[in-house]
Amino acid sequence: MNKKMKILTYGCQMNVADSERMAGQLQTIGYEYVDDFDAADLILINTCCVRESAEDRVYGKIGELKHLKRQNPKLIIGITGCMAQKEGESLIRRAPHIDFVLGTGRTSELIRVVQSLEEVPSHIVDTSDVNGSEGESFSQYPAFSPAQNVFAEFVPIMYGCNNFCTYCIVPYVRGRERSRLPEDIINEIKAAVKSGIVEVTLLGQNVNSYGKDHKLANFAELLTEVDKIEGLRRLRFMTSHPKDLSDELIAAIRTGKHICEHIHLPVQYGSDPILKKMNRVYTVDQYRRLVQRIRQNIPNVSLTTDLIVGFPGETDDTFNETLDFIREIKFDAAYTFIYSKRSGTPAAEFDNQVDDAIKHERLKKLMDVQNEISLAINEQLDSQVFEVLVEGASKTDETIYTGRTRTNKLVLFKHSEEQPGDFINVKVTQPQTWLLKGERV
């Protein structure tokens, strides 16, 4: 009988991609995927620590697993990902029902660790090399997604981050930038497309600095090469750091046939003194001019962003400047976060930390302003027809299916015979803040 694995993924798309590649590794030693925790012989929790709330969720989940281990002492529980890297063996001290903790750079050891625990139960902690070789180890194994009808895939093109924004834990738990080889990426995508994948999203903490280490190709060149892969219908990428989004890249997006007109371009804040303290290394005006260049060159591009409120030193003035800035730029959508102190990062030690109540008040205000903008932009799309890649049934209603436009807008429509992975045309009939309702034409 096959052994069963359950994998739970927190955090960003990078973790989703890593989970699929870990599942691919475990398949080669006889594990098949189950949805049900109770049926699993192996449970992996792939974790995130970007904000305290993300960590709290993981601790909660780890606590819930304790009774499963009591029921089935042979169950293997492993913690991977960013929080595993950050917390290491303290996770096992806190929750001894965990069998292993594997850091972000040590996932190449996953098979060895699991096999050793199958033979002799013990505790294994390995966070020894944050700059380890995820890329190379993952390249040998095809990604495996538990979802049915898989038509889209996340493909990491680089690992780590060199930017050290002062609020951010990622460089500490993901190590320095390492770019995968262009031929490995291209071969992986060719194989994925052969197996039915029609949409690929290239992933990195800052894709614009792809290739600065090996110098075999820069990001614009890589994107152009991937765009040529026969059978690929949509090509996406994230995340772009505003400090080095080049004109060459803008040109590549404009001319690429399958490269989608959507750029996720986190601005984080709209006031220079705070941007400086965040170490984002661009000014509000540089960002503004970058957006102008993008919009002049890529017609109908959609722009999304990330924003943080409550960074140390924020005042009513810097916050109002930020509100004005988002009113000016008019992002299609924004992911808004309350600043969360991450110990070990410079900003955690900064003076003038902002009071919690004020943070929440400002978050609400920011979301209200952005929601109004998102709705106004979407209302302009009323009655327009978009090519939509069908994703599947919506979470709440099986008769309603969802899909996305090239600009990454979520579209809802009544299901007839569409299948996930189909391309259909949908006319927008009811634009809303976060999605477009429409009908197939």
Chain residues that interact with ligand SAH, rule: CB under 6 A: 50-51, 167-168, 170, 205-206, 239, 241, 266, 268, 306, 308, 337, 339-340, 342
User: Residue 13: which H helix or E strand, with range?
Assistant: helix 13-27
Please state whether beta strands 234-238 and 262-264 pair in parallel, antiparallel, or not at all (unpaired).
Answer: unpaired
Residues 19, 141 contacting (CB under 8 angstroms): no
CA–CA separation, 88 vs 429, rounded Å? Answer: 51
Residue (175 or 403) nearer to ligand F3S, CB:
175
Indicate which of ligand SAH, ligand F3S, ligand SF4, none lies near residue 171 (CB less than 5 to 8 Å, by partner kind): ligand SF4
CA–CA separation, 74 vs 273, rounded Å? Answer: 55
What does the DSSP 8-state code read for residue 354?
A: P
Q: How far is the CB of 101 from ligand SAH (least distance, A)?
A: 22
Indicate which of ligand SF4, ligand F3S, ligand SAH, none lies near residue 164 (CB less than 5 to 8 Å, by partner kind): ligand SF4
Residue (185 or 307) nearer to ligand SAH, CB:
307
What does the DSSP 8-state code read for residue 146?
A: S
Q: Pick from 252, 198, 236: which is nearest to 408 by CA? A: 236
CA–CA separation, 390 vs 405, rounded Å? Answer: 9
Count the neighbouring beta carbons within 10 Å of the beta carbon of residue 284: 20
Touching ligand F3S, residues 57-86 (CB under 6 A): 81-82
Residues 103, 126 contacting (CB under 8 angstroms): yes
Residues 327, 283 contacting (CB under 8 angstroms): no
Among 170, 200, 388, 426, binds ligand SF4 (CB under 6 A): 170
Residue (21 or 241) nearer to ligand SAH, CB:
241
Q: How far is the CB of 78 from ligand SF4 (least distance, A)?
A: 24
Binding mask 214-233 for ligand SF4 (x = CB under 6 A): --------------------
Q: Does 13 bind ligand SF4 (CB under 6 A)?
A: no
Touching ligand SF4, residues 238-297 (CB under 6 A): 241
User: Residue 288: which H helix or E strand, with range?
Assistant: helix 284-297
Count the neighbouring beta carbons within 10 Å of the beta carbon of residue 354: 18
CA–CA separation, 425 vs 399, rounded Å? Answer: 18
Q: Does 130 bind ligand F3S (CB under 6 A)?
A: no
Indicate which of ligand F3S, ligand SF4, ligand SAH, none lies near residue 48 (CB less than 5 to 8 Å, by partner kind): ligand F3S
Indicate which of ligand F3S, ligand SAH, ligand SF4, none lies near residue 337 (CB less than 5 to 8 Å, by partner kind): ligand SAH
Q: Does 370 bind ligand F3S (CB under 6 A)?
A: no
CA–CA separation, 47 vs 282, rounded Å? Answer: 30
Q: How far is the CB of 120 from ligand SAH (least distance, A)?
A: 38
CA–CA separation, 252 vs 257, rounded Å? Answer: 9
Q: Does 164 bind ligand SF4 (CB under 6 A)?
A: yes
Q: Does 334 bind ligand SF4 (CB under 6 A)?
A: no
Tokens of 147: 């979802």
Binding mask 271-300 for ligand F3S (x = CB under 6 A): ------------------------------
Binding mask 166-205 for ligand F3S (x = CB under 6 A): ----x--xx-------------------------------
Segment near ligand F3S (CB under 6 A); pick from 45-53, 228-236, 385-393, 420-428? 45-53
Helix/strand/coil (H/E/C) assignment for every residue in 45-78: EEECCCCHHHHHHHHHHHHHCHHHHHHCCCCEEE
Q: Does 259 bind ligand F3S (CB under 6 A)?
A: no
Place of tokens 């978050």: 363
Q: Pick from 293, 299, 227: which is nearest to 265 by CA? A: 293
Tokens of 16: 């989703």
Among 54, 75, 161, 338, binds ligand SF4 (CB under 6 A): 161
The crossing angle, in degrees rounded to 10, of helices 247-255 and 219-227 is 10
Residues 326, 373 contacting (CB under 8 angstroms): yes
Residue (335 or 423) nearer to ligand SAH, CB:
335
Longest dimension (CA), the chain: 64
**One-letter amino acid of 124:** I
Residue (137 or 340) nearer to ligand SAH, CB:
340
Q: How far is the CB of 340 from ligand SF4 (least distance, A)?
A: 12
Q: How far is the CB of 241 from ligand SAH (least distance, A)?
A: 6
Q: Does 48 bind ligand F3S (CB under 6 A)?
A: yes
**Interface residues with ligand SF4 (CB under 6 A)?**
161, 163-165, 168, 170-171, 205-206, 241
**Interface residues with ligand F3S (CB under 6 A)?**
11-12, 14-15, 48-50, 81-82, 170, 173-174
